[in-house]
Amino acid sequence: MATFNQLFMLIILFFSSSFSFYSPLLSSPTTTTPPKNNTAHYSQTICNTTPYPFDCISSLPRHQSGTVRDFCRFFLQKSLSTTKHFLSLLDSYLKRQHPGSRPALPEPTIRAIQDCHLLAELSLDTLSKTYQTINFTNTLNSFETEEFQTLLSAVLTNTQTCLQGLEEAINSPSVVKNVVSFPLSIGTKLYSISLALFKRGWVDDVNYGKRDYTHNNRAAAVIGGGRKLLQAGLGGVVLSDVVVVNRNGTGNFSSISDAVAAAPNNTAISNTSSYYVIYVVGGVYEEYVSIPRNKQNLMLIGDGINRTVISGNRSVVDGWTTFNSATFAVVGQGFVAINITFRNTAGAIKHQAVAVRNSADLSAFYSCSFEGYQDTLYAHSLRQFYRDCDIYGTIDFIFGNAAVVFQNCNIYPRLPLLNQFNAITAQGRTDPNQNTGTSIQNCIIRAAQDLVMANYTNGTTRTFLGRPWKEYSRTVFMQSYMDSLIDPAGWTEWSGNFSLTTLYYAEFNNSGPGSNTSNRVTWPGFHVISSSLDVANFTLSSFILGDSWLPTTGVPYTNGLL
């Protein structure tokens, strides 16, 4: 059997050659190609628009002509191939860990590799869907371009999450990290180049036209407890079926996980989608719930905040990655949760401990509560919406790299460990072409009761609006109330000068004693916005195209500024 070091060298040789193998562009481009004597210059010009121009130009076949869209197809094809090979590599590791065999790797390492495998599968599905669509058309509408830019942005996020998990794995052999990290670094470049070319070839060519940013609060009949919701018919939302979960055994199921497993697979997603409703009777459900990608259009309804509670206590300190520490994790597209508390009870002493990890596109949480300390709510990827929710935490407790909007939420910083500070957000955008970011509108930021009492007796814990987790971190607070707990500087560094010129942090028309911007940070990437036109791109209608998908959920929303 080959040693890890031998395997490492074989992987390097394979992926190095894979990155530069010859694969011709489409032989019949659908738009005009440049003259042959200008091909090299034209290719260089295109590649210079990507974050990795050298890798882009060196990977293209020599003397091959094509358009920006042809080049995008070429790199998507290479991305698909690389992702398939990466999955095969992960399979080879995981097959050694089958039940009954002697584990060759520490359990935290196995968990990190399992995370990577799930993330790579998601990326493979995304890349296949994108390539199959754009390989046969040059015409996409504005929603389609937004969708594919979102999907390709998520592929990069998946890659970064895999890398992070490997770094977190306790006592993981360094050679394993190296073997897995090498193809990931190649994949990151391919995915980034593909995203840049897609943005230039399709997104920048679409005329989005004028949007209506006027106030429009869509009232839905999703009020009261779970029983009232069902009786009200969810304000016209189409239901395919309703099942009941009750711990005492009087419902259809006694656990949420069993109800999820029994839900139909791969239901169609459309503008008239029907929801499979799982009604969870009040009580504390101590279980880890996962909504996989084949469970689409699920709606989880409880009896109300602090009445229906899903609770767990996994943490990084106890050997889980941040990604798989979540009490509740969702991937299935079109997921909706209403009137539920999601809780991680690991406590501040256990550091990263996620209550909810959301990787579900077109997902919404309404009238829910998220309780934890560090890393409470992991808005991991894709398009998400949170309305009338309570969010509790300490360090980076709203984090991730989704395109996410929070409206009318209560944000409660809690008491952290001694000598720690609070950071409400840690946004994880790694690439300038990702259409991701965190938009917080008409929310209320106040100290949780434990922080109020501690500040009264022991002095003030510094609380910041956020810090830049990744290089292109992007967060906007607008039309929100900020109590006096917010530090006058507003924002804090992650590590020295890292990302201070590349991030985008902004504040617009906020109120309350903590909203005074006169002593805010003076970073190049920080902005105090005064014009509604400048902040309109971060409204729900524009940022996540909420008007096109939220009406089917029955969740109320404001599509523009107040």
Say which residues have a Cβ less than 8 Å from residue 398's Cβ, sequence separation at least 6: 376, 377, 379, 391, 406, 411, 424, 425, 426, 438
If pLDDT is split at 50, 70 and 90, which confidence band does 92 have? confident
CB-count burial class (<10 Å; 0-12, 13-18, 19+) for 108 = buried
Do the two domains 46-208 and 227-391 of this chain adopt the same fold? no
Active site residues: 396
CA angle (156 as vertex; 69, 403 as ends), nearest 5: 95
Residue 35 per-residue DSSP state? P
CA nearest 370: which of 334, 330, 403, 333? 330
| Domain 46-208: homologous superfamily in CATH | Invertase/pectin methylesterase inhibitor family protein (1.20.140.40)
Average pLDDT, the chain: 87
Q: Flag the least confident range among 33-37, 51-55, 125-129, 316-320.
A: 33-37
* Region 524-535 average pLDDT: 95
* Region 238-242 average pLDDT: 82
Domain boundaries, the chain: 46-208, 227-391, 394-561
Q: What is the assigned CATH class of domain 394-561?
A: mainly beta
d(CA 412, CA 373): 10
Q: pTM for this structure?
A: 0.90
Q: Flag the least confident range among 217-226, 347-356, 543-552.
A: 217-226
CB-count burial class (<10 Å; 0-12, 13-18, 19+) for 97 = middle
Q: In what order do the strands lie in the sheet with 481-482?
A: 283-286, 308-312, 341-344, 369-371, 390-393, 410-413, 444-445, 481-482
Dihedral angle sign, alpha carbons of residues 54, 58, 62, 68: negative
* Region 474-489 average pLDDT: 97
Question: What's the confidence (pLDDT) of residue 306?
Answer: 97
Computed on alpha carbons and rounded to an integer, the radius of gyration of the chain in Å comes to: 24
The tokens for 162 are 């895999």
Q: Flag the least confident range among 49-53, 103-107, 378-382, 486-490.
A: 103-107
pLDDT in tens, 259-279: 999 999 987 766 566 899 999
CB-count burial class (<10 Å; 0-12, 13-18, 19+) for 392 = buried
316 φ, ψ (degrees, to nearest 5): -65, -35
Question: What's the confidence (pLDDT) of residue 97?
Answer: 63
- Domain 227-391: give its CATH code: 2.160.20.10
